[in-house]
Amino acid sequence: MIDRVISSRAPDNFEWRYVAIIGAILSLGLLSIYSVTHAQPGSGVPLYARQMLWVVMGGAAFLVMLVFDYHKIARLSYLFYVVALVLLAVVLVIGKTSRGAQRWFPIGPFAFQPAEFAKVVLILVLASYYASSPREGWRQRVVLPGLIMAPGLLLILKQPDLGSGLSFLAIYVSMLLVVGVRSKALGVLLLLALMLFPFAWEVMWGALHDYQRERILTFVNPAYDPGGKGYHALQSRIAIGSGELLGKGLYGGTQSQLKFLPEGHTDFVFAVFAEEWGFLGVLLLLGLFLGLIMLSIEIASRAKDILGALLAAGVIAMIGFSMVINIGMTAGIFPIVGIPLPLMSYGGSAIVTTMAALGLLLNVKRRRLTLFY
Amino acid sequence: MLDLSPQQDELRELQGHLTILKVGLLLVVALLAIRLWHLQVREGQYYRDLSENNRTRSVILEPARGLIYDRNGVLLANNVPSFNLYVTLEDVTDREALIKRLVGLIGLDEASLRKRLSERGAKLLARKLKGGLTLREAALIESHRLDLPGVMVQAESQRNYPARLTASHLLGYVGEVSADQLEKPEFGGLHQGSVVGQYGVEHTYDRFLRGRAGQKVIEADALGHEKRTVEVQKPEAGDDLYLTIDLRLQKLAEDLLGGEAGAIVAVDPATGEVLALASRPAFDPNVLSRELTPKQWEDIVQDEGHPLTNRATQGQYPPGSTFKIVMAAAALETNTIDPATTIRCFGSYQFGRRLYKDWKAGGHGTMDVSQAIVDSCDVFFYTIGQRMGIEAIASYATQFGLGRETGIELPSERVGIVPSPAWKEKARSEPWLPGETISASIGQGYVTVTPLQMTSLIATVGNNGVSFRPRLIRAVMERTTGRLQELPAVARGQLAIRPETLALIQHALAGVVTEGTARRAKSSLVTIAGKTGTAQAVAARPGPEEDLPKKLRDHAWFISYAPTVTPRIAVGVLVEHMGHGGSAAAPLAKQLIETFIKLAPHEPLIADSPSPARSPMTVMARQEPRD
């Protein structure tokens, strides 16, 4: 094979930009977490310090995923997927419960969420499947990969973790779209459903009776609390809105500093950021995310084989979807489903797996040119 | 390019699809940016004001609980205005001063107040300190507003049961959701301080009655008092329930029990609708729905009469001779006897070295099964029980619905015991003794049942073996849609018993009232069929019944249905420690049945003898013309 080795060459300009954007988003996240939690009295290691540890571990994961040839990694994908399914099943039995859902394993002081791991493994397994399949007919394009995804999705929804479940679906649908659906109508429909989901949701959701919504929400999330949640949503909106154009300055976010905003370091970290950095900061952050996505799409469209292109597409879908849904929910245009903001929200499992996924993406890029050497 | 294989073509095509992701994500990020621009730039000033004043507070608006009516639309439970005391911790500057003032002003219990204030919860969300303030207390708080930062009085509703003690076990009561309950999924959507049903129908149908809480976000002044409403999400009232109970019959049943402990149940055999379900002693749900002091609660729980026990569904008593219905059916169906088999009764039955007595000292003479039911001859049933064995008895008792839940929609229904060797091995780790079969044959020994089970049993017999789940709810009125949703009867099944056997038993049961042990239930208005029972409360008796202290005396049973053909009501009566079923229980059932007939005299009431079995289809299709 020609595509062996090579990674010893120095990173090029493109790669530096890629790493710089990731670093910038991580830094903004750390700053925001520091801002909300530094004054919090608490025992043990402060949250921002822990998050730094996660970032370091994420960096290691990034390098690991970069060093090995992605073809080798992909060859193990089915094994990884079986491991992920076992972990998802086991977490239902012995996992820790937080707010009504069984999501994580305690490993010493750390909490490991198998659902985060499973997302990256799903990308690997679907990409390997499509790369080795003839991809003929809707059965091989739609049904079989759907069946591969289904057990993972069901186990995640059983926890129940609506956010990760939606991410799972988004990864599947996006990769399916990139592979191409023969029926144009279906393709367009899937695309619209995925991209406009947050906005369409508002319309469909608005048409339901309150009690119907209540039943749905209580069904998917037993910890749903109308009093508490309406409160959170409003406080989040106040935090974002009160940032105005220029923001209140670092550590100046009164909403978040005064603990009006719950979960300021995790799911609502964007609200903290928006309050302190204002609309200009928000544009900067959206720009960084968009930059990351565009560079990633660049990698995908120059990948030398189908496996690489699909791996890249899956990672883009995962990160893009989480970002859109998270910001949408903090800005009050989407129900609060509990999806972290990639690279910014506090949480070890998410940081490490997201960075591993980005490492995989860069891996695709670094092996791109080998064909021509 | 090195290679333009089909693989490479496909790769190009596939990479072309990436545009979809690109354009889609660009579009959505643009929409997000527009939304954020709207929030931060266009409405930024508004949100800045809210955040700078730092004065938004959130108050939960409790929903009005659904109302409960009887089958005729008579109100059983509603809501009356009440003043509740709330505090928002964020605005409390001096917690000790607040505690001191509240204790001083309206005499709150200091310990529970302290506990409430230190419970976890959002600081900006008002928490309830006390419900049911008197008008005077509410006025006192209002006039001391300035000394009580963060404190407010909200006018809300308090559950009210106009009929007070009537139907209390059935209706149940409400109370604040407990911390344990909040953890459970069925209480999803509730919050600390939510009021939920804790007993009775209030509990079972809480999901309908509860409604949905709303929320009001207010802008508060410097003392935490409302200045302006920012956002209101209105609460939604719960659904109304229409019970199957007829309040007139329910009241009568309770009056009939009077000061005695016991239960009376009346059901419609053709639908399973419960017309009355009385249990005495009772409690006042109005009292239990308010906040009780630990002392008050203790008094209720430790009351010797156990007023909180619903004797109709939770009281487990030996069925006594009412069990002979099961015995007769089992003996005939297992061909242990035929209708003509006779047994001579000399007043006792010898088994091993023990003598089992008949209730009638001299004996009943020669009896067939019909006559044995009419006169409640113990020796006849000792004999057939011994011949059949306990397994056959247990199998038929189970078929008649004993030892299992009737499925009525009330919490913690008890099932009683259908004893068998397997049961005894499991429950007591002892082998079954042959003599115990003999005790069981007359509904003594280990056999226990609830009054509801026995009423359901006699209703099934009267309804030619077709059984319905006893049910309490006729219809639910959905508040959100205004629709009245009728709930259907739920068939439980058909006894696997020959029609001839049922007809024989029905005939004998009619004889019990006309010429047997329940002559005091004989009515000139309607033909009644039934069976008496006298259940020993304690196995060993130190002396003659009359000399015993009351709590050791026998329980009186009477289970019945009327009219004898196409019965429209089945009534079970159990009176604790009142002696013979024929004298203490049967007259009560007669009165209840006569009142029922007078209230709704629509169908032929007097029949000479039980008619041949109706088909189950017509039974189920029968409508009720009487309301």
Domain map (residue ranges) of chain A: 13-372
- CA dist A262 and A245 (Å) reads 23
pLDDT of residue A97: 63
Same domain, B200 and B270: no
Q: For residue B104, what is the DSSP state?
A: H
Same domain, B166 and B198: yes
Same domain, B334 and B263: yes
Other CB atoms within a 10 A radius of the CB of residue B604 amount to 11
Burial class (CB in 10 A: 0-12, 13-18, 19+), B546: exposed
Q: Which residues, in sequence order, are bridge partners of residue B236?
A: B212
Say if residue A343's pLDDT is above 60. Answer: yes
Say if residue A127's pLDDT is above 70. Answer: yes
Average pLDDT, stretch B110-125?
A: 73
Share of chain B above pLDDT 70, in %: 89
- CA dist B627 and B624 (Å) reads 7
**Hey, what are B442's tokens?**
């007359």
Q: For residue B366, what is the DSSP state?
A: E
pLDDT of residue B619: 34
CB contact under 8 A, A306 and B14: yes
pLDDT of residue B448: 93
B112 part of the active site: no
- This prediction's pTM: 0.60
Q: Using CB atoms and an 8 Å cut-off, which of residues 92-151 of chain B contact chain A?
A: 122-125
Lowest mean per-residue pLDDT among A232-236, A347-351, B39-43, B562-566: A232-236
Q: Which residues contact A246 (CB under 8 A, 6 or more apart)?
A: A278, A279, A280
CB contact under 8 A, A211 and B14: no
Helix, strand or coil for residue B532? strand
Confidence of residue B266 (pLDDT cuts 50, 70, 90): very high
Write the CATH number for B157.
Answer: 3.90.1310.10
- CA dist A74 and A131 (Å) reads 10
Radius of gyration (C-alpha) of chain B in whole angstroms: 32
Say if residue B401's pLDDT is above 80. Answer: yes
Which chain B residues contact residue A196 at CB under 8 A? Answer: 28
pLDDT tens-place string over residues B119-162: 766 666 677 788 778 788 888 888 887 778 878 888 778 888 98
pLDDT of residue A287: 96
Same domain, B495 and B450: yes
CB contact under 8 A, A242 and B52: yes
Residue whose C-alpha is closest to residue A356's, from A370, A372, A342, A336: A342
* Mean pLDDT score of chain A: 80
Q: Cβ of B5 under 8 Å from any chain A Cβ?
A: no
Q: Which residues contact B19 (CB under 8 A, 6 or more apart)?
A: none
Same domain, B329 and B471: yes
User: Dihedrals φ, ψ of B565, to 5°?
Assistant: -110, 135
CB contact under 8 A, A226 and B17: no
Q: Does residue B229 lie in a domain region?
A: yes
Which chain A residues contact residue B41 at CB under 8 A? Answer: 244-245, 279
Inter-axis angle of helices B378-388 and B434-441, to 10 degrees?
130
**Hey, what are B223's tokens?**
């003392």
> What single letter denotes the amino acid at residue B485?
Q
User: Dihedrals φ, ψ of B262, to 5°?
Assistant: 165, -170
Encode B275-310: b = buried (16+ Cβ within 10 Å), e = exposed: bbbbbbbbbebbebbbeeeeeeeeeeeeeeebbbbb
* Mean pLDDT score of chain B: 83
Count structural domains, chain B. Answer: 2
CB pairs under 8 A between A and B: 196
Question: Residue for token digits 């209140």?
Answer: A248
Q: Using CB atoms and an 8 Å cut-off, which of residues 180-219 of chain A contact chain B?
A: 180, 187, 191, 194-196, 198-199, 209-211, 214, 217-218
C-alpha distances out from residue A71 to B2, B12, B173, Å: 20, 19, 66
Q: Cβ of A177 under 8 Å from any chain B Cβ?
A: yes
Order of all β-strands in the sheet with B274-280: B274-280, B262-267, B569-575, B555-562, B529-535
* Nearest residue, CB atoms, B13 vs list A180, A231, A278: A180
Same domain, B238 and B276: no
- CA dist A40 and A62 (Å) reads 31
- CA dist B464 and B329 (Å) reads 13
pLDDT tens-place string over residues A169-193: 889 988 988 888 766 666 666 666 6
Which chain A residues contact residue B26 at CB under 8 A? Answer: 290
Q: Cβ of A99 under 8 Å from any chain B Cβ?
A: no
Q: For residue B42, what is the DSSP state?
A: I
CA quadruple B197, B201, B207, B210: dihedral sign: negative
Domain end marker among B197, B220, B243: B243
- CA dist A71 and A81 (Å) reads 16
**Hey, what are A277's tokens?**
């950095």
Burial class (CB in 10 A: 0-12, 13-18, 19+), B185: exposed
N- to C-terminal Cα separation, chain B? 88
Q: Which residues, in sequence order, are bridge partners of residue B262?
A: B280, B575
Same domain, B235 and B335: no
Same domain, B266 and B238: no
Same domain, B405 and B363: yes
Q: Cβ of A245 under 8 Å from any chain B Cβ?
A: yes
Greater confidence (B122 vs B327) lies with B327
C-alpha distances out from residue B337 to B369, B454, B461, Å: 8, 24, 20
Same domain, B234 and B264: no
Q: What is the 3-state secondary structure (H, E, C) of chain A?
A: CCCCCCCCCCCCHHHHHHHHHHHHHHHHHHHHHHHHHCCCCCCCCCHHHHHHHHHHHHHHHHHHHHHCCHHHHHHCHHHHHHHHHHHHHHHHHHCEEECCEEEEEEECCEEECHHHHHHHHHHHHHHHHHHHCCCCHHHHHHHHHHHHHHHHHHHHHHCCCHHHHHHHHHHHHHHHHHHCCCCHHHHHHHHHHHHCHHHHHHHHHHHCCHHHHHHHHHHHCCCCCHHHHHHHHHHHHHHHHHCCCCCCCCCCCHHHHCCCCCCCCCCCHHHHHHHHHHHHHHHHHHHHHHHHHHHHHHHHHCCCCHHHHHHHHHHHHHHHHHHHHHHHHHCCCCCCCCCCCCCCCCCHHHHHHHHHHHHHHHHHHHCCHHHHC
Share of chain B above pLDDT 90, in %: 31
Same domain, B442 and B378: yes
Number of residues assigned to chain A: 373
* Catalytic-role residue among B82, B279, B289, B321: B321
pLDDT of residue B87: 83
N- to C-terminal Cα separation, chain A? 12
Write the CATH number for B431.
Answer: 3.40.710.10
Distance of CA A360 to the CA centre of its chain: 15
pLDDT of residue A201: 54
Which chain B residues contact residue A328 at CB under 8 A? Answer: 32, 35
> Residue B77 is part of which domain span?
57-243
Strongest mean pLDDT among B94-98, B487-491, B593-597: B593-597
Question: Residue for token digits 């009728």?
Answer: B486
CB contact under 8 A, B32 and A331: yes
Say if residue A222's pLDDT is above 60. Answer: no
Residue whose C-alpha is closest to residue B211's, from B234, B230, B181, B232: B234
pLDDT of residue B612: 38
- CA dist B384 and B330 (Å) reads 9
- For residues B367 and B402, the answer to whether their CB atoms sit within 8 Å is no
Same domain, B484 and B601: yes
> What single letter denotes the amino acid at residue A27?
S
Say if residue A284's pLDDT is above 90. Answer: yes
Q: What angle do CA B390, B392, B394 make, to 5 degrees?
A: 65
pLDDT tens-place string over residues A242-259: 888 888 877 776 666 545
* Nearest residue, CB atoms, A238 vs list B27, B47, B233: B47
* Nearest residue, CB atoms, A224 vs list B7, B51, B188: B188
Say if residue A68's pLDDT is above 60. Answer: yes
Interface test with A, best of B25, B52, B218 (most A CBs within 10 A): B25
Helix (H), strand (E) at residue B157: strand B151-160
Domain end marker among B220, B243, B266: B243
pLDDT tens-place string over residues B77-99: 988 888 888 887 777 777 787 88
Which chain A residues contact residue B189 at CB under 8 A? Answer: 214, 217-218, 224-226
CB contact under 8 A, A223 and B39: no
Residue whose C-alpha is closest to residue A236's, from A326, A166, A156: A326
Q: Does residue B45 lie in a domain region?
A: no
Q: Using CB atoms and an 8 Å cut-off, which of residues 26-55 of chain B contact chain A?
A: 26-29, 31-33, 35-37, 39-41, 43-48, 50-52, 54
Which chain B residues contact residue A290 at CB under 8 A? Answer: 25-26, 29
Share of chain A above pLDDT 90, in %: 33
